[in-house]
Amino acid sequence: MSYPEFGAGLWNFATYVDRYATDGYGPPRGTLEQIDLAAEVGDIGWVDLNFPFSDGVSVDDVKAKLAEHDIQAIGITPDIYLREHAKGAFTNPDPAKRASALAIMNEAADVVRELGAKYVKIWPGQDGFDYPFQVDYHELNRLAVEGMRDLASGHPDLKFVIEYKPREPRTHMFWGSAAKTILGIQQMGVDNVGVLLDFGHAMFGGESPAESAQMLIDAGLLWGMDVNDNYRGWDDDMMVGSLHLVEVFEFFHVLRRNGWEGVWNLDQFPFREDAVENAALSIRFLKAIHRALDALDDDGLAEAQSRQDALAAQRIVQDALLSSMAGER
Amino acid sequence: MSYPEFGAGLWNFATYVDRYATDGYGPPRGTLEQIDLAAEVGDIGWVDLNFPFSDGVSVDDVKAKLAEHDIQAIGITPDIYLREHAKGAFTNPDPAKRASALAIMNEAADVVRELGAKYVKIWPGQDGFDYPFQVDYHELNRLAVEGMRDLASGHPDLKFVIEYKPREPRTHMFWGSAAKTILGIQQMGVDNVGVLLDFGHAMFGGESPAESAQMLIDAGLLWGMDVNDNYRGWDDDMMVGSLHLVEVFEFFHVLRRNGWEGVWNLDQFPFREDAVENAALSIRFLKAIHRALDALDDDGLAEAQSRQDALAAQRIVQDALLSSMAGER
Amino acid sequence: MSYPEFGAGLWNFATYVDRYATDGYGPPRGTLEQIDLAAEVGDIGWVDLNFPFSDGVSVDDVKAKLAEHDIQAIGITPDIYLREHAKGAFTNPDPAKRASALAIMNEAADVVRELGAKYVKIWPGQDGFDYPFQVDYHELNRLAVEGMRDLASGHPDLKFVIEYKPREPRTHMFWGSAAKTILGIQQMGVDNVGVLLDFGHAMFGGESPAESAQMLIDAGLLWGMDVNDNYRGWDDDMMVGSLHLVEVFEFFHVLRRNGWEGVWNLDQFPFREDAVENAALSIRFLKAIHRALDALDDDGLAEAQSRQDALAAQRIVQDALLSSMAGER
Amino acid sequence: MSYPEFGAGLWNFATYVDRYATDGYGPPRGTLEQIDLAAEVGDIGWVDLNFPFSDGVSVDDVKAKLAEHDIQAIGITPDIYLREHAKGAFTNPDPAKRASALAIMNEAADVVRELGAKYVKIWPGQDGFDYPFQVDYHELNRLAVEGMRDLASGHPDLKFVIEYKPREPRTHMFWGSAAKTILGIQQMGVDNVGVLLDFGHAMFGGESPAESAQMLIDAGLLWGMDVNDNYRGWDDDMMVGSLHLVEVFEFFHVLRRNGWEGVWNLDQFPFREDAVENAALSIRFLKAIHRALDALDDDGLAEAQSRQDALAAQRIVQDALLSSMAGER
């Protein structure tokens, strides 16, 4: 069986803090240690790296460590959501903060070049608002769109992807849905900005991840993706396949039907779990999904969908999905 | 393979209206016709019947029709949520409306006796409130508890089950969660009132259905159950297994671990689907769950749970669940 | 004090059924009787009418009745979500059903002309899907967009507004958010299709209604609006101002700041309340909002927003809002 | 005008981290500095303090600082949700971790005695589970109830309050609702454990905070409360009154009607706001609520509630609430 390529945000192998466990869910881990852990999983060929790297780690260090494990950088994610940018990166009301965010992103762009990564991933988690009446929405949109345009225009040789999410850490994140992100990219008028669809973010936002994937593909903008799972009410970043098997299966089905080729990437926060085992079990599940895609009666499904026959489709889906681990344990 | 007994609310075989499709999603079907459809499914041995029956249908008619198909009545659900009781049955502010609701329930109790059903199922969907400041909550609780006590005390030979649900058609239904229902039953001080846990209602209320089942079992009050599925934000009454396979599997696992014996009952509203096919596909899925329970590594799971090891548990669960349809199609 | 013009969907004065109270929350009311009730409120100058009208009522009857009360038609809402179109109007898999939906909408367009209404309101509540894997999303989008384009192109002299909503009666409605609706209208390439923003639908979808209003205004597409309230998890269509006073205040503030002139329209379902009193109390609240807008320290608020200072904004907002009924009772 | 006493969790004056802004939303503040800030607000007579205090701060230091500002300790909240107890305090699968949590709580009990506080506040935020199949629910309940019983039995001279919350940081917190907490306390069979109702937690859990308050009062268990606000889908800990004015008004109305006397306490996380201004504005709003309670037509409201007349109640409520800031700015 030939499987797709698998990847992971390097933060899958970090430890975490939250507003309660302020001393962290484990001792801090540096960038290089995280890469070692990613390599331990055994199936991970790509990583998305936060930038700046941990203290004292240079791009050359990272390059060497990646080479050691034969892992490639898929993307670089600049940290534009720390204290300095707690009120926003692109949409910060303070021009100096916007400038410092841009400086970080420009550096991240250089790292993308040096590592030969596919994209700069932009997740401006602090861009948005918390309270009604807090912002002028017209101005907020202007700042978000113009800032992103300026960034992308400055690096015409690179690709940028925006990862949307409805909320957290703001109660309302500016890039909050697939459709709103497409609209913003249209307003930019550039051709090197696309979208990274995070399965869990789409679920959290009440979207059908499969439908959003199709919409993005039709717009020519689905340039990356992450998978994980949650209870639909928060970005829990749980192990993919732990809750919503049918919907993640459908998501990958839509990718395959459209001939989307790309890395199947993990974005998970194993707060209390072993990071390597968490990733390994995730990939074990994704392989089952891949087998289920192979086993799926595509013609039967297409016929059912032509009649929008939910039951006929479910029968076909269950046949494939609920046999996908047989003989594999 | 020996399977559990399966049942269905007879309304699984009705047609429906809602506030938009006021002319209904199909031509009306009478009680007897609905029983015929239930029989068509082939695996349904029990039905829960709304009372009053459709126009002109007597208890004897129903008894004969059930006998014809070798189907038994598991429960009778009195219609105490129609126009007459739009502002409540037990908690209606008008004593005359409370009395008319009680009269219907007393009649339903007689039907339970005549059909030899297991319980009178009480779902007072209009009991509760819609707006803040609308009710005096102390008084609302008094009416709900005293009314139910009076009803149950009047029929010491019968069992009553309350089916809780967070909301719909009221924005807040009085019997809204497993824990609150247990508290209310304690206040009644009677021994013939228990709970019917609807899987979808528990999901809708943000409960873990499996945890609620355990809580009810520990309280000696889990006397009935229904399954279905939804998107966690509404009581969609979709086909069981269409969305939340892991959680429905866990729910049945908890039942088995506690030696709970009873009918696996469907409560679904196939608005736009074929009712017989919907039920048949549901039972096909439930049989897969039953096989998965047999295949589950109980000892391994117990060991994982003793360490609260989510990943170890997931691995065991996926092995069983994702092989449950193999060779069955 | 000069107030804005107020209007209401005529269904504010209907009675309702739902899937439980199948005999309805009250005796049916005809179109003309509903207009009489709207007139009783005293402040309603505009109504949005469902079409077809109730049995035996002609356009001339309606025209006469509206004239009698000096009420104008703001829009006509064709009933394309009844049994015939339970699986969709524009996106129905059956071409014959799509054609019959189009026929109703064409008739509704004629009624708009005859009554001199502002728009045909399109709310294709049955367009979408319920289950994962049920539809081909690319095809669904094609049907929705092409169908709407065909309709609008056939009536270049009229305006059409799409009223989006995340779900109900389908678990996923196609026109589900402000941004997705804008995208779809762009794809149509016509200039006579806009959007009607329903405050409660935006809340239900996790949007900031004020932000969505700004986005639609910036796109030149905010052609109508409805207000009401809900608990954010369902389209409860409760009395405006009963729950989310700050957010409805902000919504109207954004309209005023942008110079949006139009009717303040009610879309509410008083299932268990007196319809006239429900509308009267709603308008009483909207007048308080209008006074609060006059009292609002616009400059102070703009200054606070330039710093995205939530607290400064809240103080200004509370000063105006929490004084808006003083001396009015 | 005589106002109630106001208090605040001392963490209202801390700075915060979350999983993204790992360097914190501001420089750390010690316990004593936080007390100074609380005193700056001007209306805060009570604080709830986390324990252990910040590095190097003794109970005597705290006692002196509180005395300096004439502030009293209302409660002590032991930190049983840090790294050491990331998998639970009472329900940790590891007996050694349960013991270390108990040790912290015993120390906190001593601090309550030394400071003369009203209660030890127990918020076991890490007790619960994240994934289906992760725990044995019967065992989880046993650990939670027995642990709390042991703690409370060891300090019969003190009061303990449990603060329930549906989730965060676990996806499912054990003490998740008012009703479930009452059930657990009944199982303990002790008389010195009650409940602290956090308004936002109740909203987040889909409860009516006012109804939950009444239920707890009727059970004799409402021993403390906190207020704040959120979007109903997460524990946002926003400024009270920023979103849900009617429901917070109703909550205080139920307290007054039942003669509940106690401190009106703030539990807010002003991540990006000035802590002192945040608290000051909150208390300004709470004073408006207090005035609105005085102005409320209690008899009219009681009469409306006897008929469960939502509209009559709303009219009375709006008259009081929307005049509560008039002449006060």
| Helix axes of C275-295 and C31-41: crossing angle, nearest 10 degrees | 40
pLDDT at B269: 98
pLDDT at B327: 80
Contacts of D132 in chain A (CB under 8 A): 242-243
Contacts of D272 in chain A (CB under 8 A): 86-87, 130
Share above pLDDT 90 across residues of chain D, in percent, rounded to a whole number: 99
Q: C221-233, pLDDT tens digit by residue?
A: 999 999 999 999 9
Task: Say whether both B81 and B152 belong to one domain.
Answer: yes
Q: D260-307, pLDDT tens digit by residue?
A: 999 999 999 999 999 999 999 999 999 999 999 999 999 999 999 999
Q: Is the pLDDT of residue C1 over 80?
A: no
pLDDT at B260: 98
The reply to whether D178 falls in a domain is yes
Contact yes or no for B243 and A247 at CB 8 A: yes
Q: Is the pLDDT of residue A1 over 80?
A: no
Q: C129-151, pLDDT tens digit by residue?
A: 999 999 999 999 999 999 999 99
Neighbours of C156 (CB within 10 A): 9
Task: Say whether both D205 and D314 belong to one domain.
Answer: no
Alpha-carbon distances, residue A191 vs A188, A194, C191 (angstroms): 9, 8, 26
Total residue length of chain C: 329
How far B87 CA sits from the closest chain C CA (Å)?
7
Q: Is the pLDDT of residue A328 over 90?
A: no
Q: CATH number, domain at B259?
A: 3.20.20.150
Q: Give yes or no for B319 touching A (CB within 8 A).
A: yes
Q: C258-267, pLDDT tens digit by residue?
A: 999 999 999 9
Is residue C176 within 8 A of residue C165, CB to CB? The reply is: yes
The reply to whether A100 falls in a domain is yes
Q: How many CB pairs under 8 A join B and D?
A: 135
Identify the domain containing residue B311 by its residue range.
296-329
Res. A3 pLDDT band, cuts 50 70 90:
very high
Task: Say whether both C207 and C301 belong to one domain.
Answer: no
Taking the C-alpha atoms of A304, A309, A315 and A320 in order, what is their torsion angle to the nearest 10 degrees? Answer: 50
**What average pLDDT does this structure show over C277-302?**
98
Q: Which two tokens stand for residue D296?
A: 């409320």
Share above pLDDT 90 across residues of chain A, in percent, rounded to a whole number: 99
Contacts of B319 in chain A (CB under 8 A): 325, 329
Q: Distance between CA B258 and CA D237 in Å, rounded?
A: 39
Contact yes or no for B206 and D210 at CB 8 A: no
The reply to whether D1 falls in a domain is no
Task: Say whether both D142 and D190 belong to one domain.
Answer: yes
Q: Which two tokens stand for residue C65?
A: 């009745």
Res. C329 pLDDT band, cuts 50 70 90:
low
Contact yes or no for C325 and D325 at CB 8 A: no
pLDDT at C152: 98
Average pLDDT over chain D reads: 98
pLDDT at D329: 53
Average pLDDT over chain C reads: 97
Q: A9-56, pLDDT tens digit by residue?
A: 999 999 999 999 999 999 999 999 999 999 999 999 999 999 999 999
Q: Distance between CA B163 and CA B145 in Å, rounded?
A: 14
Q: Which two tokens stand for residue A325?
A: 């681990």
Q: Between residues 252 and 281 of chain A, which touch chain B (CB distance below 8 Å)?
A: 272-274, 277-278, 281
Task: Say whether both A160 and A263 belong to one domain.
Answer: yes
**What average pLDDT does this structure show over A255-266?**
97
Q: D212-226, pLDDT tens digit by residue?
A: 999 999 999 999 999
Q: Give yes or no for B26 touching C (CB within 8 A).
A: yes
Q: Which residue ranges of chain B lie beneath pLDDT 50?
A: none
The reply to whether A135 falls in a domain is yes
Q: Give yes or no for C16 touching B (CB within 8 A).
A: yes
**What average pLDDT does this structure show over A293-304?**
98
Task: Say whether both A218 and A311 belong to one domain.
Answer: no
The reply to whether D139 falls in a domain is yes
Q: Give yes or no for D239 touching C (CB within 8 A).
A: yes
Q: Which two tokens stand for residue C31?
A: 């179109």
Q: Distance between CA C44 and CA C39 in Å, rounded?
A: 6
pLDDT at A119: 98
Q: Is the pLDDT of residue A228 over 70?
A: yes
Q: Distance between CA B304 and CA D136 in Å, rounded?
A: 10
Residue C254: name the closest of C295, C216, C219 by CA.
Answer: C216
Task: Say whether both A177 and A277 belong to one domain.
Answer: yes
Task: Say whether both B184 and B324 belong to one domain.
Answer: no
Per the structure, the count of domains in chain D is 2
The reply to whether C1 falls in a domain is no
Contact yes or no for D277 and C311 at CB 8 A: yes
Of the candidates A23, A167, A234, the beta carbon closest to that of D82 is on A23
The reply to whether A1 falls in a domain is no
The reply to whether B1 falls in a domain is no
Q: D26-62, pLDDT tens digit by residue?
A: 999 999 999 999 999 999 999 999 999 999 999 999 9
Q: Is the pLDDT of residue A300 over 70?
A: yes
Q: C6-30, pLDDT tens digit by residue?
A: 999 999 999 999 999 999 999 999 9
Contacts of A243 in chain B (CB under 8 A): 244, 246-247
φ, ψ at C200 (rounded to 5°) = -70, -35
Q: Distance between CA B10 and CA C184 in Å, rounded?
A: 41
Contacts of B273 in chain A (CB under 8 A): 310-311
Task: Say whether both B33 and B106 belong to one domain.
Answer: yes
Q: Is the pLDDT of residue C328 over 90?
A: no
Is residue D127 within 8 A of residue D173, CB to CB? The reply is: yes
Q: C67-115, pLDDT tens digit by residue?
A: 999 999 999 999 999 999 999 999 999 999 999 999 999 999 999 999 9
Task: Say whether both D240 and D313 belong to one domain.
Answer: no
The C-alpha angle B266, B272, B275, rounded to 5 degrees, equals: 40
Bridge partners (DSSP) of residue B35 are none
**What average pLDDT does this structure show over C157-162?**
98
Task: Say whether both A288 and A302 belong to one domain.
Answer: no
Quick one: DSSP state of residue C147?
Answer: H
Task: Say whether both A74 and A97 belong to one domain.
Answer: yes
pLDDT at A327: 81
Touching partners of A (3+ C-beta pairs < 8 Å): B, C, D
Amino acid at D5: E
Contact yes or no for B16 and C19 at CB 8 A: yes
Q: Is the pLDDT of residue A329 over 70?
A: no
